[in-house]
Structure 1
Amino acid sequence: MLRTASFFCATARLMAALMACMSVALPQAEAAQRGKPLPIIRDAEIEGLMRLYTRPIFKAAGINPRAVKVYILNDRSINAFVAGGQRIFINTGLIERADTPNEVIGVLAHETGHIAGGHLARMGVEIDSANYTQIAGMLLGLAAIAGGVASGNGEIAQAGQGIMAGTQGLAQRNFLTYARGMEASADQAALKFLNETRQSARGMVTLFETLARENIATLADVDPYVMSHPMPMDRIRNFEVEAKKSPYWDAKDPPALMLRHQLVQAKLAGYIGGAQAVMQKYPSTDQSMPARYARAIAMFRRGDIQNALPIIDGLIKELPENPYFWELKAQALLENGRAAEAAVPVRKALELLPSNGLILILAAQTYIDTGKPDNAGEAIKLLRQAQRTEGETPETFRLLARAYALTGDVPRAELATAQAALLMGDTKLALEKARSAQAAFKTGTPEWTRASDVISFAGR
């Protein structure tokens, strides 16, 4: 079940937006610099696949998998970057255009190299050691170059060089040399992680070649010494020589992993691409599992649940242990006002993935939408469980408010509403509901204390 969310990069300054986000290209850097939320997508299936991709890589890097979070950005460009410490961001465009899981895994291994090498912290030290005026001018030039590269506009990229020329200096050259060195270091770390996990680096080479083809015209006249990354062709040549020495160069992705990759691509097409694009990519003559998955999603998204459900049921019959097919059926029924029917497949999805926060939330919403007080009580338990993995979010508090209201517990419903409002920045509603709720609770109880906290924060 695809959900959208917002995430702000760690800092609003242009310097940090461009340099603390390793490998970042516009428009993500611009969004972070302007304080705009990045278009995060939440989905149990996609996130589960990313965990499957990263777990062995993190282990090889000596990193606790629970310490790193992978976020999916709804962006059609090929890009991934590290920001805000141990957070990896990967664009949907990269996933959609990767022919194999190995290509995505290679990128994730590269970004893990940045984390394992402590590059974000070291970059901050390098920035602090440089002259601020020179660095500021350099970053503005880099932004223009990156924007030109991302958009394929050579004039913008050359204009960036002009800006850079106005702030030429030793600090600038040293800084960029350092940045390119970190990219090369991350490439080498990725190769090491892939070798240790017996995976091929062919996917990284393939992706580098794709990027090189797309940017060759834009980069033709760009001075390599004003780039924060190695030039694409140089990067390919240097990396491929080392990658081919690996005994795992010809290793293939397992068929089961390939299927999961293709199903995720189909899901992204179904949710993001629109019905027409889905039918072009997955025509009715294509009866593969990913094609049927994409068409079923596109159908129910446009309201054609009558034709979507038989396809989903067919997918479930073929792979009954796939929790995401059950999740899809529950979502399709729920969004068409059939919550009572949706309760059956959502229970099956929960049986298969009992600790997944997003499925817990979907199940809770399904039970609440049945309108039955008994189901509301179960929804409250599921939401409390979801909050242990997903955190206390506006969505979980809004659902808790509805669930408590169904059970007749008005004070707790008002408290949950107040907590949701506070997280959304609606301090007026938060104060109103928190004060009303607090009056109903005995002084010193946990609920009274939480209401007091809301009043304190909202009143600032």
Structure 2
Amino acid sequence: MKNRLIAVLLCLALVPGSYSQGLPDLGDSASADLSPLAEQKLGMQIMRDIRWADPAYLRDAEVEDYLNRLGDRLVAAGPGAGMPFEFFGVNDPSLNAFAMPGGKIGVHTGLILAAQSESELAGVLSHEISHVTQRHIARMVGQQGRSSMLMLATLLVAVLAAKSSPNASQAAIMAGQAAGISSQLSYSRDFEHEADRLGVQNLAAAGFDVRGMASFFERLQRNSRLYENNAPAYMRTHPLTSDRISEMEDRILHLPYRQVPDSLDFQLVRAKLRVGKAASRELMDELQDAGRRDGQSVVAHYALARAYLASRRFAEAERELVALRGLKQPSAMIEGLDGELLLAKGDAAGAAKVFHDGRSRFPQSRRLLYGEAGALLDAGRTTETLNLVKTELQTTPGDALLWELRARTEAAFGHRMAQHRSLGEMYAIQGKYAASAEQLTLAQGAKDGDFFEMSAVDSRLREVRALLAEQMKERRER
């Protein structure tokens, strides 16, 4: 379906135009309607639904890691320092970004590709971060009351149900209703001006070129005139006006000039998204021409290597990787591509070494971590896989992919209790408490663990059953 869950999620972060005159009081009224704790809980619930139920969610650890590095740099420079922000990608060609309760910020791939500099992308993120730090969502609830939030939450559930329904016409009706409500909502002028002002301040404080924010928004406004009623989503949900852009430019005139080069990862992320899962003949020709024009371009060699890998032209992909290594530009994304090529060629042991060596240089890279664990398992090195996954789960127990890898590894050993317990943890993280309880019940019956393992399973099963009961109660109340 064209209208995805994202259209509904936007509703939670947007304010009707009828409330554009004046801001609500920031005191007890807003806090009573949506406290910071309630905002965090709501954001976590919606994020869980996006990550595990929406096909538009971009399942790419490299892109998500990059967005979080960029976002964290902006957050640290402004009033949001210390707040639990989370940034993620949405596989959608439209130009859009959106903020949700609890600091969850989504960025469409179309927006990343449309940005002509990293400062432009950072400007959009800085704007969205300001919507969160100023608690515009809580202030929206203060204006509209709880009934609005309940309506939106109900609509969210309806669209999720429609996505899995075999009745396509009913799904279309649900999506149409969501899109209709979304099209009527937009941030108020006051909220937008406030986010612009703080966004520019944060952008400057984080060391980016503040002109990037104004130039990107001005280009969006200029291009929107060509769309008429089909303007980019960002233009519909964040209405741009000439006075907004004029005010932004006026603020920028009073700030010192700063020329900021793009990071290598920004360029590589855009190259990866552009190539996608399969490069067209036209794109391949364009990339080859770019490689011939500039044999010293890291981005050109990376993009070509990705394109050749997607086409399973392994020898040519290896040639481009050799050229990349010769340029000696450190990047976790280059290390990841190297391991990916070895895996595609069937060399799991070689890939595991590349991922492992890469992690010594880039210990925060989740893509390299997942790559090493998966390659070790493919190579039959189950003991090393289990040790690695267990170690990482001690610091990141909420990582569902690591629990899945652990379940696969425990299954290879024939450890039935540990396997089912790991699957139970994976399902619990995904909010699938019925499936989690089922797996933990199977773990109870396996009887191949020691006393301490059995006690841990019993305790966790009680917790999951309580969560399942709460989930079922919430569904009945809706």
TM-score, with normalisation over the residues of structure 2? 0.71
Equivalent runs, 1:316-327 vs 2, <5 Å: 316-319=325-328, 321-327=330-336
Shift of 1:428: 8.7
The 5 A counterparts of 1:182-331 are 182-218=191-227, 229-248=238-257, 251-254=258-261, 257-272=262-277, 274-276=279-281, 278-286=283-291, 287=295, 288-319=297-328, 321-331=330-340
Distance 1:333 1:111 in 2: 39
Aligned residue identity for 1:69: E
Query: C-alpha displacement at 1:454, in angstroms?
Result: 4.1
Matched-pair contact (CA < 8 Å) for 1:50–1:70: yes
Q: Deviations over 1:87-122 (max 9, x none)?
A: 111111111121111101111111111122111211
* Identical counterparts, % of pairs: 25
Q: Which residue of 2 aligns with 1:400?
A: 406
| Cross-structure match for 2:54 | 37
- How is 1:439-450 mapped onto 2 (pairs within 5 angstroms)? 439-443=447-451, 445-450=452-457
Partner residue of 1:152? none
Equivalences, count: 395
Q: 2:362 aligns with which of 348, 353, 361?
A: 353
- Residues 1:221 and 1:322: Cα distance change in structure 2 (over 3 Å): closer
Whole-Å separation in 1 of the counterparts to 2:263 and 2:230: 39
Q: Structure 1's 389 and 294: CA in aligned 2 closer, same or farther, altered over 3 A?
A: farther
In structure 2, C-alpha distance between the alignment counterparts of 1:275 and 1:41, rounded to whole Å:
21
Partner Cα separation in structure 2 for residue 399 and residue 198 of structure 1: 39
Q: Deviations over 1:425-459 (max 9, x none)?
A: 4469626632433x22344x144422563487478
Q: Distance in 2 between matches of 1:188 and 1:214?
A: 23
Letter aligned with residue 310 of structure 1 = R
The structural deviation recorded for 1:228 is 6.1
What secondary structure does 2:80 align onto? coil
Give the equivalent residue in structure 2 for 1:128: 145
Contact 1:20 1:124 in 2 (8 A): no
2-side partners of 1:357 and 1:62: how far apart? 28
Contact 1:361 1:383 in 2 (8 A): no
Question: In structure 2, what is the equivalent of residue 333 of structure 1?
Answer: 342
Separation of aligned partners in 1, 2:438 and 2:341 = 33
Q: Which runs of 5+ in 2 are unaligned?
A: 17-45, 156-175, 470-478
Structure 2 residue corresponding to 1:20, chosen from 12, 24, 41: 12
Of 383, 387, 390, which residue of structure 2 is paired with 1:381? 387
Query: Counterpart of 1:127 in structure 2: which amino acid?
Result: Q
Measure the CA separation in 2 of the matches of 1:355 and 1:49.
Answer: 11
Per-residue deviation, residues 259-309 of structure 1 (Å, max 9, x unmatched): 332222111122356343531542344232212211111211222222212
1:94 aligns to what? 111
Q: Is the 8 A contact 1:270 1:297 kept in 2?
A: yes
Q: Following TM superposition, by how much is the alpha carbon of 1:231 offset from its aligned partner in structure 2, in angstroms? A: 3.7
Supply the distance in 2 between the matched residues of 1:206 and 1:23 (Cα, whole angstroms).
Answer: 25
Residue 331 of structure 1 and its aligned partner are, at CA, apart by 1.6
**CA gap 1:261/1:418 in 2 versus in 1, 3 angstroms:** closer
Q: Deviations over 1:295-353 (max 9, x none)?
A: 11121122222221221132123226323212211122223322012122112111112
User: Structure 1's 68 and 427: CA in aligned 2 closer, same or farther, altered over 3 A?
Assistant: closer
1:368 and 1:455, CA in 2 relative to 1: closer, same or farther beyond 3 A?
Answer: farther
SS at match of 1:41: coil
Q: CA deviation at 1:160?
A: 7.4
Letter in 1 for 2:408: R
Structure 1 residues 182, 123: closer, same or farther in 2, change over 3 A? same
Q: Distance in 2 between matches of 1:221 and 1:101?
A: 26
Question: Higher mean Cα deviation, 63-72 or 106-115?
Answer: 63-72
- 1:229-286 CA distance string (max 9 Å, x none): 44443322232222222223xx2223xx343322221111223563435315423442
2:15 and 2:188 in contact (8 A); partners too: no
Structure 1 unmatched ranges of 5 or more? 1-6, 140-155, 165-174
Aligned-residue Cα RMSD (Å) equals: 3.9
CA distance in 2, matches of 1:296, 1:57: 32
Deviation at 1:394?
4.2
Q: Which residue of 2 aligns with 1:148?
A: none
Contact 1:361 1:386 in 2 (8 A): no
Kindly state the Cα deviation for residue 379 of structure 1 after the two structures are TM-superposed: 1.4
- Mapped to 2, the partners of 1:279 and 1:221 lie a distance apart of 30
Worse-superposed segment, 342-351 or 424-433? 424-433
1:107-118 pair list within 5 angstroms = 107-118=124-135
Measure, in 1, the Cα distance between the counterparts of 2:207 and 2:68. 17
Among 67, 72, 78, the alignment partner of 1:50 is 67
| Higher-RCO chain (CA-CA 8 Å, sequence separation at least 6) | 2
Whether contact under 8 Å (1:8, 1:36) holds in the other structure is no
Counterpart in the other structure of 1:453:
460
